[in-house]
Structure 1
Amino acid sequence: MSNRTESPKAAPARALFGTDGIRGRANSHPMTVETAMRLGQAAGLMFTRGSYRHQVLIGKDTRLSGYMIEQALTAGFLSAGMDVVLAGPLPTPAIALLTRSLRADLGVMISASHNPFEDNGIKLFGPDGVKLSDAHEAEIEAEMKADLASQLAKPDELGRARRLNDAAGRYIEGVKGTFPKGLRLDGLKIVLDCANGAAYRVAPTALWELGAQVIPLGVSPDGFNINKGCGSTAPDHLCAAVVEHGADIGIALDGDADRLILSDEHGEIIDGDQILALIAGFWAKTDRLQGSGIVATVMSNLGLQKYLRNLGLDLHRTQVGDRYVAERMRALGINLGGEQSGHVILSDFSTTGDGLVAALQVLAVLVRQGKPASEVCRVFQPSPQLLRNVRFAGPSPLLDARVKAAIVEAEAAIGPEGRLLIRPSGTEPLIRVMAEADDRDLIGRIVGELCEVIAAVARAPETTA
């Protein structure tokens, strides 16, 4: 394995859009009413080409600011002549699914995923239910800067808005349809943490209707408690509840339910890499895996790569971001991919990560094998890996000569069998530092030293190239 530091390819220049749409603190740039309305107008004009009535589907998670952003987007789309269908609180993958099934021209999800309630974001899906490409997002940004007033709809061509009252039911039935026919979850006790987010109603209902005994957590959203001490980014509560209730397995979703983390019956975490390995191995045995491998990101563990290699399967790596995983999957004809953080894309069923659908695939293997989750879901031995984040303000510390020199030294120290990944977060002002090697003490020292240098530069009054 090369010891070179891995970095993502350059993407088209975009000021508003990051790794996963637009994201920021609610009621501050860029997550303002003005930006949302302008986005609705620009995207609406781009996607209203042709003589038929055009429509956009808008969903959201449970953040207080969702009301504000939803109304601003709605106004923008209506002024562009596009009809608006409001789905209310639903998971991101539900919006992707319903965008296609309703034959909408565009889908919008208002969510900041795993971020705290103070943040919010906007994700856009094309009529095929696929997240818009970097090029499309750059085109929308350019349109937002243009003079839109002369292009907006005439009074008799303004759009109309309506509620989609059966949106949740449609998604629940779609999710249940991904579970193998003839199987049931009868007898399984499942702790389910919905992060007080978008899946707080649909996820417990779907599992219960499939026969499971569901112990729900994080199903009382109040606009402020999304992801607060719960969900896939704070799984301690889930793990404790699994042990307390003697459950067979625990499932933790994030705020918009496009990713998951599992707990086995002992309260031990099962991450996205293990989930990918489990599904890949089972699908390979049952001839369901397409493309002779899977797609994951540069963050996925070396242990996953070694496990797949032993099965004769390839691991194709992309930059971080589930939409980049999905793009590579489509290019290679692969039907399984995902991220260590718990985004799992099963393209037989969905165009984007779906935590609930992925959980059902794991539960199907659990039911078929009739063994404890600790045996079924521990598929490979992970290589020691350490990830730390360094927060910064101002210019990126990665531009500083001292940081560049420290990275070169770290690459030499980790050797040819290890991996070093240093990258800026696409959603927060963070530098992520990850090292992986067989020597746990070595990676601890390397990550610690790099983080100290980056933090020192971030605190300095000036950053030099």
Structure 2
Amino acid sequence: MNEDQRSLFLSSSSHFPPPQGVKLSYGTSGFRADASILQSTVYRVGILAALRALKTQSVIGLMITASHNKVSDNGVKVADPSGGMLSQDWEPFADTLANAHDPQHLVELIAEFVQKENITLDGTKPVEILLARDTRPSGEFLLEAAKQGIGSIIGAVALDMGILTTPQLHWMVRARNGGVKVSETDYFKKLSSSFRCLVDLSPSGTHANNVDDKLVVDGANGVGGEKLEILKTMLNGLAIEVRNSGKEGGVLNEGVGADYVQKEKVVPFSFGSQDVGIRCSSLDGDADRLVYFIVPSTSSNKIELVDGDKILSLFAIFITEQLSILNKEIDVKAKNGYQCHLGIVQTAYANGASTDYLKQLGLEVTFTPTGVKYLHEKAAEYDIGIYFEANGHGTILFSEQFLCWLKARTTELSDVAKGSEQHKAALRLLAVSELINQAAGDALSGVLMVEAILKHMGWSIERWNEIYEDLPSRQLKVKVVDRSAVVTANAETVAVTPPGIQEAINAETAKHPRGRCFIRPSGTEDVIRVYAEASSQDAADNLAQSVAKVVDQFLGFGSS
């Protein structure tokens, strides 16, 4: 690192002193905290993003958001060249950078890292970092801190893309690194045209079903509702009413949003008896999560939740159907054949009934530890990988090899069997690959995927919800002295340490029909999370409580 670069670091970092007594950690969602203490962290993530861009010689994204958190919180995360999350290899450096106690220490850390990674800081190869924020008031001043951080790296250029959903930024980063200079308008056009293509390919007899039914969407008073208001004007054949768009004066994520609906299982603000019989869905604060729900009666504020597990199952049904049609009479050993490897990826938090249902369909289901970065990485191993968490975050990934074959097959079919069921199936799969956001979970593209598939199947939301019945479940937290005492294996379903705890959990689980229970340490606080399922709600509650007592006996304050 030359003296000019060192001086630039020292000068700019002196304006962003870190908060005293606060230690931050870069997790799946990046850094999250009260917005009032994040300025220094966001400045340093700006440096991180610029270094990542120089290292990869690619466009990198920096998003300022805290998703489903309360409005006083905020956060920052980096999007890698693929449009996915920051490489896990760089997370330790992100932590060290954020927690450096003074400018001199910060510069020393950067100099050491730059040398280790062989990053050139002479400005000879300029790079771009795309910046965006959600609608939180704190986003504006935090964005300026990010610009200052990027600007402290010679050769790094910050491009402010404005207010976007998190998935929009991920999509733009992916597209630009693919050689396409895209804008938000391009994003809307891509979604609307792909949706139209899927709807037009619906089988005769189902096309009319649900086409003009209204969909009512809870926008969480966030950026997603704002963007959906724009997108819906570009759609034909789907009437969308957006509530809690943020324009009505509601508070972000307060009594609204996918996280609230999924956890509380009650109607969000502004929904109620008027919505009985109407399809309803809810986005989270930055529009990367989506759940659907049914308002079953006028006498209660309770809902029937159609969560991420059922969205995954709907997508899997549709994809499987198209692959089955496409492969009819194709010799997979022949030139025009391709044995597509379809995989479903879940975490241990997926409801057991959903896993059983998917396996009954003959699908390959694998599990990863909790966290989108693990799900996404595993899904990328398949020709088509579908992953979703119960909270509504997920997407579909297509391998380049399969897409190349699919495009060639579509062209071949258009010459010899245009309009055939095989040709339509190929076109549908291509449309899905265009509609779904392969960079990240995206509630806006997810809504359109769900709606297109329901039209294709001729299903109401009630019919969709009936594909299987969730097993009753319960989640609890147990305060412990040291959460690191629990080490898990087998995608967090087995506790390896402390010795004997898994055997005790197994003994409690065996007492309940269809019982399933696991524990895992929280990533952010000294608690152990307990998840339990059983054949009845009482049994699930009892199992969770009994395992919580086991955890307390082994790890609680009384055990130390």
Which TM-score applies when normalising by structure 2? 0.62
In the aligned structure 2, how far is the partner of 1:411 from the partner of 1:372? Answer: 40
Counterpart for residue 410 of structure 1: 505
Identify the residue that residue 169 of structure 1 maps to in structure 2: 185
CA-to-aligned-CA distance 1:343-365 (integer Å, 9 cap, x gap): 12122332211122222221112
Moved more, 295-304 or 428-437: 428-437
Please provide the CA RMSD for this pair.
Answer: 3.7
For 1:47, give the aligned amino acid.
A
Of 174-183 and 125-134, more deviation after overlay is shown by: 174-183
CA drift at 1:244: 0.9
Verify: 1:147 aligned to 2:108, yes or no: yes
Q: Does 1:436 align with 2:533?
A: yes
CA–CA distance in 2 between the matches of 1:36 and 1:433?
Answer: 33
Look up the match of 1:106: 60
Q: Does 1:331 align with 2:419?
A: no
Q: Which amino acid aligns with 1:202?
A: K
Which residue of the other structure, out of 220, 226, 238, is the alignment partner of 1:201?
226
Amino acid at match of 1:111: T
Matched residues in 1 for 2:356 and 2:157: separation?
Answer: 54
- Per-residue CA deviations over 1:320-371 (Å, capped at 9, x if unaligned) read 1112111001123333111111112122332211122222221112222333
1:396 aligns with 2:483: yes
Of 258, 266, 282, which residue of structure 1 is paired with 2:318?
A: 282
For 2:252 and 2:525, how far apart are their aligned partners in 1? Answer: 17
Residue 21, structure 1, aligned to residue 30, structure 2:
yes
Alignment of 1:310-349 (within 5 A): 310-347=360-397, 348=433, 349=436
TM-superposed deviation, 1:110 = 1.4
Quote the Cα distance in structure 1 between the aligned partners of 2:498 and 2:281.
39
Q: Is the 8 A contact 2:508 2:547 kept in 1?
A: no
Q: Specify the SS of the correspondent of 1:117.
A: coil
Match of 2:12 in 1: none
Report if aligned partners of 2:49, 2:61 keep a CA contact under 8 Å in 1: no
Mapped contact 2:30–2:78 kept (Cα < 8 A): yes
**Compared with structure 1, are the counterparts of its residues 46 and 364 closer, same or farther at alpha carbon in structure 2 (3 Å cutoff)?**
closer
Deviation at 1:421, TM superposition (A): 1.9
- Quote the residue 2:459 is aligned against: 371
What letter is aligned with 1:176? S
Deviations 1:352-411 (A, max 9, x none): 111222222211122223332101233212223222234x58743856999976664232
Q: Aligned in 2, Cα 1:446/1:404: closer, same or farther, shift over 3 Å?
A: farther
Query: Over residues 39-89 of structure 1, what are the superposed CA-to-partner deviations in whole Å (9 max), with x where a residue is unaligned?
Result: 221331232258xxx7xxxxxxxxxxxxxxxxxxxxxxxxxxxxxxxxxxx
Which amino acid is the alignment partner of residue 108 of structure 2?
Answer: D
- The structure 1 residue matched to 2:445, chosen from 353, 357, 364, is 357
The one-letter amino acid of 2:215's match is: I
Aligned to 1:232: 258
Opposite residue 199 of structure 1, the aligned amino acid is G
Cα distance, 1:222 vs structure 2: 9.4
| Contact 1:397/1:457 (<8 A) preserved | no
The DSSP-based 3-state class of the residue aligned with 1:361 is helix
Conservation of the 8 A alpha-carbon contact between 1:292 and 1:314: yes
Residue 109 of structure 1 deviates from its aligned partner by 1.6
Aligned residues of 2:368 and 2:375 also touching (Cα < 8 A): yes
Q: How many residues align?
A: 394
Tell me if 1:303 matches 2:353. Answer: yes
- Cα distance in 1 for residues equivalent to 2:344 and 2:440: 15
SS of 1:332 mapped into structure 2: coil
Greater CA drift, 312-321 or 34-43: 34-43
Q: In structure 1, give the amino acid aligned to 2:483.
A: S
Q: Larger deviation: 418-427 or 109-118? A: 418-427
Deviates more, 1:137-146 or 1:196-205: 137-146
Q: Quick one: which of 413, 419, 435 aligns to 2:516?
A: 419
Shift of 1:318: 0.7
Identify the range of structure 1 (234-243 vs 170-179) with the bigger mean alpha-carbon deviation. Answer: 234-243
Opposite residue 147 of structure 1, the aligned amino acid is: E
Higher-helix-fraction structure: 2
Take 1:366 and 1:257, find their aligned partners in 2: how far apart are those partners?
Answer: 21
Separation of aligned partners in 2, 1:149 and 1:291: 43
Aligned residue for 2:83, secondary structure, equals: coil
Select between 313-322 and 19-28 the one with higher mean Cα deviation. 19-28
What SS does the aligned partner of 1:200 have?
A: helix
Q: Report whether the alignment pairs 1:250 with 2:280.
A: yes
Measure the CA separation in 2 of the matches of 1:372 and 1:264: 11
| Alignment match, 2:83 | 129
Q: Is the 8 A contact 1:20 1:427 kept in 2?
A: no
Following superposition, the deviation at residue 448 of structure 1 comes to 1.7
For 1:67, the equivalent position in structure 2 comes to none
Q: 1:25 to 1:449 in 2, by over 3 A?
A: farther
> Which of 216, 219, 237 does residue 242 from structure 2 map onto?
216
**Cα separation, 2, equivalents of 1:222 and 1:187:** 26
Task: Please say which of residues 401-410 and 280-289 is displaced more in the overlay.
Answer: 401-410
Percent identity between the aligned chains? 27
The structural deviation recorded for 1:180 is 4.9
| SS at 1:365 equivalent | helix
CA distance in 2, matches of 1:399, 1:425: 10
CA deviation digits over 1:254-289, x for unaligned, max 9?
111111110136352101111111111121011189
The one-letter code sitting in structure 2 at the alignment partner of 1:424 is P
Larger radius of gyration: 2
Greater RCO structure (CA 8 Å; 6+ sep): 1
Report if the CA contact (8 A) 1:301-1:382 is conserved: yes
Residue 159 (structure 1) shift: 4.8
Residue correspondence of structure 1 range 19-98 to structure 2 within 5 A: 19-28=28-37, 32-49=38-55
1: distance between equivalents of 2:258 and 2:459? 24
Q: Can you list the C-alpha shifts for 1:182-216, whole angstroms capped at 9, x where unaligned?
A: 62775121111111122122123323432433222
Task: Report if the CA contact (8 A) 1:248-1:372 is conserved.
Answer: no
Map Cα deviations across residues 78-113 of structure 1 (whole Å, 9 max, x no partner): xxxxxxxxxxxxxxxxxxxxxxxxxx6211121222
With normalisation by structure 1, the TM-score equals: 0.73
CA gap of 1:224–1:193, structure 2 versus 1, over 3 A, is: closer
Whether the 8 Å contact between 1:198 and 1:257 is mirrored in structure 2 is yes
Cross-structure match for 1:120:
74
